[in-house]
Structure 1
Amino acid sequence: MARTLLVTGSSGLIGSQAVRHFAARGWRTVGVDNHMRAQFFGSGGDPRWNLERLVTEVPDFDHRELDVRDRRGLADLVRELKPAAIVHCAAQPSHDLAASRPFDDFEVNALGTLNLLEAARAGAPGSPFVFLSTNKVYGDAPNEYPLVEQPRRFEFARAEDFQGIDETCRIDRSTHSLFGASKASADLLVQEYGRYFGMPTVCFRGGCLTGPAHSGVELHGFLSWLVDTAVSGRTYTVIGHGGKQVRDQIHSHDVCTAIEAFIEAPRSAEVYNLGGGRESNGSVLECLDLLADLLGREVPHRFERRARVGDHVCYISDTRRFRSHYPHWTLSRRLPEILAEMVDQAGERSRAA
């Protein structure tokens, strides 16, 4: 009998990729989504187009319209399914939106995670519980790493920091944004259910997770929004740091192979930084350069001097801890390949529209 995977936020970037990835490996996939993202970000952030593709293209995909804030509904669902693994992707993902809707942000990110953890503890306590956390749990503490300014990017100044930010970076005494605080609350809960109750849990503290299935908007999904803006010929707004701020980029497929590695060999209360690391990263200016090469034209852009509160100046994920536990995991795509795939996909969507 096929194993059952429960995925929350199943219409989103990582959730939809997880459905496809595990279904292709013979799992029965059940997705939970209430498409609140459309309410958060408007029609441009609505992932229903992704749901339609999943229902059409993934055999036996089972979609459940359910809000993670619905404690009873989640408990009943987990009791019904008894899933062999749970992948929790549902979230309110925007710094800026969290400040204007703090109760929605905390209830979705923190309370929703607690609801699912309790449902899992009651209905599937031995099943691996994978939480898609974020590097924003560190707040702006990574900005204390000494940096040097180069012509097109910032870079770590010390040789010992070359691999990037590891899991020992502190999470207190820093400015997180309300989004970072709600995700840190959820992150700590997932760890505690692993330690206190002995459940197999993991927090993947992601850098920039991306790919062609991303419904990027200006408030969330940097690379997706940049590609859509560039392909359409609109002007992209570079916010702060002169565009030299650096992010690592990891394709959704590679996030799912990391999730699969953990599910097949779970541990308890684990925390891993997950991103493109040294193999796949770039500044905003460097991404604009790569897109200009792909499109054969300059990408119109303008600069705003202000930076987002708590914004990371240079963030590269040190993935060595995860790789030491799962040495067969590797990246399948780097930033240039990711951008090329996203440009092709954005062009297809534009032509279809």
Structure 2
Amino acid sequence: MMFGDIYNGRHVLVTGHTGFKGSWLTLWLKELGAKVTGIALPPETDPHHFGQLNLDIESHFIDIRDQRPLRDQIRESDPEVVFHMAAQPLVRRSYHAPLETWATNVMGTANVLDACREARRLTAIIVVTTDKCYENNEWVWGYRETDRLGGHDPYSASKAGCELVAASYRKSFFNSPDAPLLATARAGNVIGGGDWSEDRLIPDLVRAIQHGRPVEIRSPTATRPWQHVLECLSGYLMLGQQLVGRDSTFAEAWNFGPDREGNRQVRQVLDTIKRQWPAAEWYHPGQAQAHEAQLLQVDSDKARQRMQWQPVWTFDEGVGATAEWYQAWLERGEVVSRAQLARYVARANARKLAWAEGEAS
């Protein structure tokens, strides 16, 4: 009865389902009994989490920049709920491929939302962006949903643009009483097993461990709001629950970030992993790098107060689960995603969190 059992039997579309976060969300939706359709590019890495999970869903490889096949597939799928997660998600890659980043994150989002206008039974749209969509002044306090959008690098700026596209479609096209409700969700630095992306801290560390060498770390003192992937996904699913329930006050922007204890420096994340996995080694070359913010925090008080959403695992537990996942894969060839999801849900249930007990917030 998680999330009021609203996903059981419901037709849900996930864009970006072959990605790290998208594959975890697809797994959870399947566990909830949803009928999932995925639209994404083929996985870029080998291995990839989506393939490791071997999920039985309707999967379509479509580029969201390609408007006609995207529109045709959304019309055919006719979803009731859409989680839009497809994106170019990497900061460093955005410096090398800025036009791809802008085209995917801004025009791709516009293509998805425009196609959703033709979905007959659609009730809820959740557009997933990032905490990096804020104009980052490197303040010591967290950014709230009403703070100024912006971004230095093409990735961050394009995600601010994605937020503007979503707000425009909400006001211009999804504004009638019977229209789908549209919200955006902004999460922190998400970690967890199954992320094999380039230029990300833990996947780079795991690859270095595989090759018996230390990993190069660009900014060991950079502070980020670290959280396990299941934490933000529980927020997205709670948000979907409210939108399906036709509460229009939830059709706005939402932060889903960790408690203050999750705001840690990069080297603290590495030290926590090393305590569990002694093979982890790192070094800092001291060379100039492309600009990346040194301090970023988000304020999730709105989600905590209005949805009673809160993290389930501590920082150490989330990092520990991440290290455990990669150790199980590298040492035994096991994919422990389902077991970790079950453990996460059990902890949430033991803490009597509203979503785990099936109650509306």
Scaled to the shorter chain, the TM-score interval is 0.7 to 0.9
Distance 2:256 2:210 in 1: 28
Which amino acid is the alignment partner of residue 168 of structure 2? E
Q: Which amino acid aligns with 2:23?
A: S
2:98 maps to: 102
By how many angstroms is 1:227 displaced?
Answer: 4.6
Task: Give the aligned residue type for 1:211.
Answer: G
Residue 86 of structure 2 aligns to a residue whose secondary structure is coil
1:304 aligns with 2:311: no
Aligned residue among 114, 133, 137 for 2:133: 137
Q: Which runs of 5+ in 2 are unaligned?
A: 1-7, 334-361
Quote the residue 2:330 is aligned against: 350
Distance (Å, rounded) in 1 between the aligned partners of 2:125 and 2:212: 42
Q: Which moved more, 1:76-85 or 1:223-232?
A: 223-232
Opposite residue 324 of structure 1, the aligned amino acid is Q
2:299 paired with 1:318: yes
* Cα deviation digits, residues 286-323 of structure 1 (max 9, x gap): 122212211246723224253531x2222222110122
Deviation for aligned residue 1:64: 1.0
* Corresponding letter in the other structure for 2:48: W
1:26-37 paired onto structure 2 within 5 Å: 26-35=33-42
Deviations 1:56-96 (A, max 9, x none): 3x3x4111111111211121122112111111111111222
Counterparts of 2:234 and 2:111, CA distance in 1? 26
Match for 1:165: what amino acid? Y
Contact 2:80 2:121 (C-alpha < 8 Å) held by counterparts: no
2:226 is aligned to 249
CA distance in 1, matches of 2:215, 2:122: 47
What is aligned with 2:208? 229
**By how many angstroms is 1:177 displaced?**
0.9
- 8 A Cα contact 2:48 2:196, kept in partner: no
Cα offset, 1:342, TM superposition: 2.0
Q: In 1, distance between residues paired with 2:63 and 2:329?
A: 28
Aligned match of 2:32 in 14, 25, 38?
25
Aligned residues: 316
| Change beyond 3 A, Cα 1:208–1:176 | same
Do the aligned residues in 1 keep the contact of 2:129 with 2:163 (CA within 8 Å)? yes
Q: Does the 8 A contact of 1:216 with 1:224 survive in 2? A: yes
Q: Deviations over 1:192-218 (max 9, x none)?
A: 212222241121122101210211322
> Structure 1 residues 131, 124: closer, same or farther in 2, change over 3 A?
farther
Describe the SS at the equivalent of 1:304: coil
Conserved 8 A contact 1:230-1:300: no
Aligned position for 1:150: none
Q: Distance in 1 between matches of 2:165 and 2:312?
A: 31
Runs of 4+ in 1 over 4 A off after TM superposition: none
Shift, 1:3, TM fit: 0.8
1:180 to 139, 142, 156: 156
Cα 1:230/1:338, change in 2 over 3 Å: farther
Distance 1:105 1:314 in 2: 23
Cα displacement (A) at 1:344:
2.2
The secondary structure found in structure 2 opposite 1:122 is coil
**Where does the alignment leave 5 or more consecutive residues of structure 1 unmatched?**
39-45, 146-155
Return the alpha-carbon distance in structure 2 between the equivalents of residues 125 and 181 of structure 1. Answer: 33
CA 1:278 to 1:341, structure 2 compared with 1: closer, same or farther past 3 Å? same
Residues of 2 paired with 1:316 and 1:227: CA distance?
A: 26
The worse-fitting range, judged by mean Cα deviation, of 87-96 and 291-300 is 291-300
Q: Does 1:290 align with 2:267?
A: no
- Partner residue of 2:191 out of 197, 210, 213: 210
- For the aligned residue pairs, the C-alpha RMSD in angstroms reads 2.3
Amino acid corresponding to residue 322 of structure 2 in structure 1: M
Change (3 A) 1:233 1:331: farther
C-alpha deviation, 1:171, in angstroms? 2.1
Query: How far off is 1:272 after superposition?
Result: 1.5
CA distance in 1, matches of 2:295, 2:157: 20
Q: Which residue of 251, 273, 285 corresponds with 2:255?
A: 273
Aligned amino acid, residue 338 of structure 1: G
**Equivalent position of 1:258 in the other structure:** 235
Secondary structure, counterpart of 1:234 in structure 2: coil
| Kept in 2: contact 1:207–1:247 (CA 8 A) | yes
Give deviations 1:146-190, integer Å, cap 9, x for gaps.
Answer: xxxxxxxxxx3xxxx3xx222233225xx5211122221111111
Matched residues in 2 for 1:3 and 1:79: separation?
16
Q: Which moved more, 1:109-118 or 1:231-240?
A: 231-240
Q: Measure, in 2, the Cα distance between the counterparts of 1:290 and 1:128.
A: 38
Q: CA offset at residue 48 of structure 1?
A: 5.9
Identity of aligned residues (%): 23
